[in-house]
Structure 1
Amino acid sequence: MQKIIVKDLLKFYGLQMIKSYFYVFSLLLFPFSIGMKIIADIREEYVYMDYASLLNGFVIPVQGMMLLVAVYMYRLVSEEVQYRQSILFPDIVTIQYQRIFSILLNHVIFVGTTLLIGILGLFIYYQNQEIPWSTFQLDILEHAVIFYLLPLILTALWGINCALIFGKKKTGMLALFLVWVLIGPLNTEFFSDYFYKGGFEGIRSLLFIGPIQPGHIHAQLSGFLGNEALFIKNILHISLQCVLLFLLVGQWHLRASKRILTVVFSILGLGVLVFVSPFALANNQLSFDRSFDSDLSKHYKPPYTFVPEKGALDYMIQKMNLNMVQETNALKVEADMLMKVSQKQSISLSLWHEYDVNAVIVNNRKVKFKRQGDFISFPISSDGSTTNVKVRYDIKNSPYFALTKDTWYLPATLNWYPVRQSQPINRLGVGTLDLIGDRQKMSDIKISGDIPKDITTNLKRQGERSLIGRVAGVTMMQGHLAVFEYKDHELVTDDSWSMPQTYWQSVQKTLEQTNAVLQRTFDKQTVVPKKIILVSPNEERNSYLDDAHLLLQIGTTLRLDQSLSEVVATYVPGILWSNSSSEVKVQPKWKVFNAAFSYWIQTELKLEPIEVDPFFLQQSNLDMKKVERWIKEFMDYDHKQQLIFNIVEKMVLRIKRDGKIECKGVWSHDPVTTSLKILSKETNFTPCFA
């Protein structure tokens, strides 16, 4: 009769592990590292909003814990393995299974408790920083299970299996160390590009296990790195070690038939793991992955694949209905547009190049189309009346614009539905995301279908499955967001941020002061809308303003009241150019103008101005020597002269006289007699880059 002694073994090994200074020190390394990170964050000169980054770099202490735990388990188990040949009573296999189970169960309890202590310390610090309890904290727990708890269970099994194979031989410790090096530090330092390239969906990414992480483990909107597939992957590796353990201990059976049966069951177990392994590759963990910048730069390398002729844009979209059907990490979309088209043979629409177009239908007849970069070209016949055009396409999850079960990132600055635009959607010749959108005309837009209930958008709800609005661009976001009511505004932030009352008052004051300066300078009245969205998951610096919302993407990890100059630099282009054409935004002086004018406003508001750095103004059609010379001339002027120099001397003004618009260069060197405010009232000008 087989004897069950698990209860006694649990007590015995529990006491033995607690009394081991080596083992206790190994586990306490985690809460100690958490404490050091918190102290370092408190002592920072500046206040950062990127609280999730406190867990960045924990790959190093956890890998150290993995090695120490593996060594301890090897020493603990190898003591008895050395004498297993002399233990020949029938229940030896059952006792050995119970013994290893007791060791592992104690280990799981001790590791879980230690990790929980460290994470609770982190939560207390977050509470002190006024971060409300939300999915952010739950996301940390899930991340800790995948990247800390499961790897430390896996490494215990490594140590036990090495002990079962080698006993107390010196080669056993060497094999243990080599496994740790190959799966741990070497994997992280030297093989990271191999495992990360193209995401975690290839077969080679099956070795992406343990605490191996990319540099950034958290992104706004999508939260911490971790999902069901990564969880399954670690479980697969743990299960593989369990199958190996079952096979090794099973060979201690006295009867050959039982040893053969152990081999058969082990093979069946391996078969099950192979069958389940594809589920560990269905990651789609591509959201907000900066490792794809090189691919983006390659696609937008000048000259671009295709730019439509002027005649192909001789139409106007009057109305658009978008019908969405959600699939796994994708949306099936039909864009039904009512257009006013001149008598042209073909037209071009702009749509983000990663979205596959399935069909184009003109007046209920399918037509052939060409997909060229960001553009869709197709023939159309019109007598000048309205024309119905339908475009069926797929919005799929991508590195910059996430679309998964829980995360949507479709900002108003992206052409995620067909629009009229003459320029590529991203700036040519740059290495990062720098969106260009044409938002001159507003259209009546209705979106129907599978729309998340908690979607953040600038449209209005119409029933449970529809959104409507008259806008020039549409924002749709879902994910790890927090929505706060602060005075008259609705602030949408990442759920890892502090409560808005800790920083928003000074930011709102800066926005209002910027509006006042622009009204005084350009006679342009601007009101900050009720809804303000502050997330920038791609770390982009961008802004878009309409009556329904302000998309203010500062692109900094500093708390906003610590980076008011960045707020101004981001906000100014949104005020001036949200409703401008794409032709304006690709002109050589456009970015230079924004940087210089923002510098002038920052100085006007007595903020620390951001230097106009030519490095950040690089464009494919810009002579950098001219830019550097122009910046030097600009900086040599005093504050009053800088405004005249920037707007009047070096920019071209669009002047409206008698209903006609013409472009005229103004070359006045007298900042006293040339008043932009008077000029704006008398000539009704706005900056022009023709």
Structure 2
Amino acid sequence: MKSLFNTVYITWLQFKRQPLFWILLIGFLSYEYLALTDIPSPGEVLTATSFLVQGGILAFLLFGIFVVQIEDTHQLEDLFLTIKDASLVKLLAKLLYGILLALFISFLFYLFYVIYYLCRGYPFTHLFFSAFLYCLLYFGLTFLISYFIGMLLAMFIKGKMVFPVSLVVWALIGPVNYIFLGDHLQRVSKWLNLGEPNPTGLYDRLYGFSIDWFYWLKHFEWLVVISIIFVFYLNYRHHLLNKKTTLSCIFVLMLSFGLISYGLSLKWQLYASGINADRPREEAEALYYSKKQPVLDQKKIQVTTYKIDLKIKRSLSARVEMDVQNKTGKTIKILPLSLYHGLKIKRVEANGKAVKFRQQNDAVTVSLKKDWKKGQPLQLIFQYEGNSSPLFYANQRAVYLPYYFNWLPSVNVKPAFQMDRYGRLVRNNHQTDNLTRYVLSYEGRKPLYTNLTKRNNGKWEGKSFTGLTLLSGELQSKRVGSTELIFPGDTKGLNYNEFKSATENVMKATANDLNIKNVDYPDKIMMIPILSIADSSMEEVMWYSPDTLILGNPSNSWLIDIPAYYTYWIVPALTWKYENIKVEDRDYLHAFDLMYSYIYNKKNHIKDDGDFIQWFNKVPGNGSKQVVLHQLSEWLKSNKGIKEKTQFCKQWYYLLHSGNDSWDQLEKLLNTYRKGGKQ
């Protein structure tokens, strides 16, 4: 052992005499400092260091070549021959030196990173632990693999020819290899890339860094292959291992290779962005839901209790017990429900007995063995597993399962999404309409944020009128008064008081103007990074219930950059989404949102240039709909009659509440107000 460390020390003495080594080290740290000072977010800065990793790969390839060629350059062969088992010790020392050097560089990078951002006032959240794993994976392991490859190249290719070959390898295995391989070999570039998987993508502040087990397995597979080559080299080039030892090593390594390959072949829900995303996440769903979806008859059914045994690892696995009530007044033999199509049902039971079911896209029908009459108890048990929507994470890195998404079997038979008349992907609201009890047993990423009360041993329990929301990821939380704030871990959480004031003002005004009950400041506020283009749609940004407010926010603070826009986000959440009002024509809802939000801004002296209300004159078609929209646009151009317009919105909302989306009826109401009358 002493001879091994003495050999490592000799190698270090040779390295520290090389000016190139110090130039590369100082250049590496200088680039890091420039990146830290240029990028304010501790999350974004690591994903933006792909060129630094690319440079580090080249440096460690050269280090690996140098550590092999150093003997010839400095005539060290005679020195090493004085050591017992010199060839084996020499090789092990070179490998150990590479391990120590790669770890040293990655630890040094991480240390600079932590000190810089903590001195900038960022809280020490779980993000910094994830950053340590990121540095270990994409700096430590990547540089180590590069070093080993450099050694192998120098062992098999003598002379200066090894350097152009190393440049080819460098171009292939780095995070910017897509530049050299081009679009046609994009799939190959993904597999060869040993750096950040999304070098041109944005940092996802919910999902965090791409440190999924998939990427660790990928690096381990590289190490196994390299180890196999080293074993063959030791045996057939230097005869340092006997036959039994060689076969044992090969067996273990091949077994490891097979197990790792199996793990990589499994279906993973990985974050993909930038050039490495085959397509935007909302586009994947848009393509699916643009096809014809099954249509089921909606029946008046209520769920009173959900008992959920949920496990979220690589994918989602659930066992859900539901106590269901028949409110139709008729007998039911075929029970219509919905469940997101990525979650595949394995078994369904009704009152303890297995029953037949059919799952087609998001539509689920359960064939009951007996007629289900009103007042009769019915307990359903669903067992299912699979991958959630790419817009709603459910894996080891992040969990985002909001109440309005049918990740639980839903009595609302509509699919999770649909395409509107403009070709945009929109969500269907699957919240419950009655007070429902939830009992949750959960295994997965922690801490878990939810609108239930935590009990013991991974259990949560509570009641809600809207549904169950689960959230976990690269987040932090703090309590301000009676409200728990949950927001990304790479932010300082500034400007909350201004946010609270603006939110309370809109809530109070909306509740009074439109006569909406129980609009209280929420117990929890979850700030979710905007995950896709679909999330930035006005009606998709915020979702409200008295226990939870979900805010999709592209910002890294609670600051409301444009107060007028915030009104247009929160009004849909407080009105028809909160009260789960269902009408077929989404333009009817959108027109209401625009008008009331614009009036609120004018009434409260919030600068609003009226850019959104230009939509009234852009809706294609003809008939009463276009007449009403044109008249609304003309009426809103006048700043007079704010009180009458507010009263008109109240009556309009009453029509919405009754499920009436008749443009003819709205036209009559509008004419009454424009003529100076009231209803």
Q: TM-score, normalised by structure 1?
A: 0.80
1:357 paired residue number: 345
Q: Distance in 1 between matches of 2:601 and 2:500?
A: 15
Q: Distance in 1 between matches of 2:542 and 2:62?
A: 53
2:325 paired residue number: 339
Of the three residues 352, 358, 368, the one matched with 1:370 is 358
Is residue 2:484 matched to residue 1:490? yes
- 1:221-620 to structure 2, matched below 5 A, reads 221-253=206-238, 264=247, 267-268=250-251, 270-278=253-261, 280-281=263-264, 285-287=268-270, 289=272, 291=277, 292-302=281-291, 304-309=292-297, 313-324=298-309, 326=311, 328=313, 329-340=315-326, 341-343=328-330, 344-379=332-367, 381-398=371-388, 399-405=390-396, 407-428=398-419, 434-439=426-431, 441-450=433-442, 454-461=447-454, 464=457, 465-498=459-492, 500=493, 502-519=494-511, 521-524=513-516, 526-536=519-529, 538-539=531-532, 540=535, 541-554=540-553, 556-565=554-563, 566-581=565-580, 583-584=582-583, 587-595=586-594, 597-602=596-601, 604-607=603-606, 609=608, 612=611
Q: Distance in 2 between matches of 1:88 and 1:261?
A: 31
> SS of 2:11's equivalent?
helix
> SS of 1:219's equivalent?
coil
Q: Distance in 2 between matches of 1:326 and 1:577?
A: 33
Q: Distance in 2 between matches of 1:623 and 1:408?
A: 42
The alpha-carbon distance between structure 1 residues 491 and 153, as it changes in their structure 2 partners (threshold 3 A), is same
The alpha-carbon distance between structure 1 residues 609 and 149, as it changes in their structure 2 partners (threshold 3 A), is farther
The alpha-carbon distance between structure 1 residues 184 and 327, as it changes in their structure 2 partners (threshold 3 A), is closer
CA contact (8 A) 1:34 1:118 kept: yes
1:57 paired residue number: 48
Q: Distance in 2 between matches of 1:335 and 1:228?
A: 31
Deviation of the 1:524 alpha carbon: 4.0
Name the amino acid aligned to 1:233: K
- 1:633-652 to structure 2, matched below 5 A, reads 633=633, 637-640=637-640, 648=648
Q: Distance in 2 between matches of 1:321 and 1:364?
A: 16
Deviation of the 1:206 alpha carbon: 5.6
Deviation of the 1:225 alpha carbon: 0.9
Deviation of the 1:482 alpha carbon: 1.8
1:176 paired residue number: 166
Q: Distance in 2 between matches of 1:110 and 1:583?
A: 62
CA contact (8 A) 2:231 2:250 kept: no
Deviation of the 1:73 alpha carbon: 3.2
1:519-564 deviation line (CA, Å, top 9, x unaligned): 453344632122212124735343222222222223x134331535
CA contact (8 A) 2:289 2:419 kept: yes
CA contact (8 A) 1:335 1:417 kept: no
1:24-59 deviation line (CA, Å, top 9, x unaligned): 2323344323322232235xxxxxxx5411222322
1:28 paired residue number: 26
> SS of 1:584's equivalent?
coil
The alpha-carbon distance between structure 1 residues 547 and 86, as it changes in their structure 2 partners (threshold 3 A), is closer
Name the amino acid aligned to 1:667: L
CA contact (8 A) 1:288 1:538 kept: no
> SS of 1:491's equivalent?
strand
Cα RMSD between the aligned structures?
A: 4.4
User: Number of residue pairs matched?
Assistant: 649
> SS of 1:223's equivalent?
coil
The alpha-carbon distance between structure 1 residues 591 and 393, as it changes in their structure 2 partners (threshold 3 A), is farther
Deviation of the 1:297 alpha carbon: 1.2
CA contact (8 A) 1:195 1:208 kept: no
1:576-634 deviation line (CA, Å, top 9, x unaligned): 123344633752332354355445545555556587569999x9x9769979x969946
The alpha-carbon distance between structure 1 residues 4 and 485, as it changes in their structure 2 partners (threshold 3 A), is closer
The alpha-carbon distance between structure 1 residues 508 and 204, as it changes in their structure 2 partners (threshold 3 A), is same
Q: Distance in 2 between matches of 1:529 and 1:275?
A: 51
Deviation of the 1:151 alpha carbon: 0.9
Which segment is superposed worse, 212-221 or 52-61? 212-221
**Structure 1 stretches lacking a partner, 5+ long:** 43-49, 198-202, 684-690
CA contact (8 A) 1:531 1:549 kept: yes
Q: TM-score, normalised by structure 2?
A: 0.81
> SS of 2:551's equivalent?
strand
CA contact (8 A) 2:3 2:83 kept: no
Deviation of the 1:167 alpha carbon: 1.5
1:337-381 deviation line (CA, Å, top 9, x unaligned): 221243255342122222222344445554433323222123452
CA contact (8 A) 1:410 1:416 kept: yes
1:47 paired residue number: none
CA contact (8 A) 1:427 1:586 kept: no
> SS of 1:323's equivalent?
strand
Deviation of the 1:60 alpha carbon: 1.7
- 1:114-129 to structure 2, matched below 5 A, reads 114-129=105-120
Which segment is superposed worse, 336-345 or 426-435? 426-435
> SS of 1:474's equivalent?
coil
CA contact (8 A) 1:306 1:372 kept: yes
Q: Percent identity?
A: 15
Q: Distance in 1 between matches of 2:608 and 2:27?
A: 43
> SS of 2:587's equivalent?
coil
- 1:97-176 to structure 2, matched below 5 A, reads 97-170=88-161, 172-176=162-166
Deviation of the 1:486 alpha carbon: 1.1
Name the amino acid aligned to 2:501: K
CA contact (8 A) 2:67 2:94 kept: no
Deviation of the 1:508 alpha carbon: 0.5
CA contact (8 A) 1:251 1:259 kept: no
Which segment is superposed worse, 133-142 or 7-16? 7-16
The alpha-carbon distance between structure 1 residues 506 and 175, as it changes in their structure 2 partners (threshold 3 A), is same
> SS of 1:588's equivalent?
helix
Deviation of the 1:414 alpha carbon: 0.8
1:617-674 deviation line (CA, Å, top 9, x unaligned): 9x9x9769979x96994698145579978995999553599x9989632224977947
> SS of 1:441's equivalent?
coil
> SS of 2:340's equivalent?
coil
Deviation of the 1:415 alpha carbon: 1.6
Q: Distance in 2 between matches of 1:159 and 1:80?
A: 15
1:73 paired residue number: 64
CA contact (8 A) 1:22 1:72 kept: no
Which segment is superposed worse, 293-302 or 642-651? 642-651
Q: Distance in 1 between matches of 2:120 and 2:79?
A: 61
1:190-237 deviation line (CA, Å, top 9, x unaligned): 76989997xxxxx99764534444544743443211134422331331
1:16 paired residue number: 14
Name the amino acid aligned to 1:376: V
CA contact (8 A) 2:342 2:387 kept: no
Q: Distance in 2 between matches of 1:356 and 1:205?
A: 29
Name the amino acid aligned to 2:254: G
Q: Distance in 1 between matches of 2:672 and 2:113?
A: 59
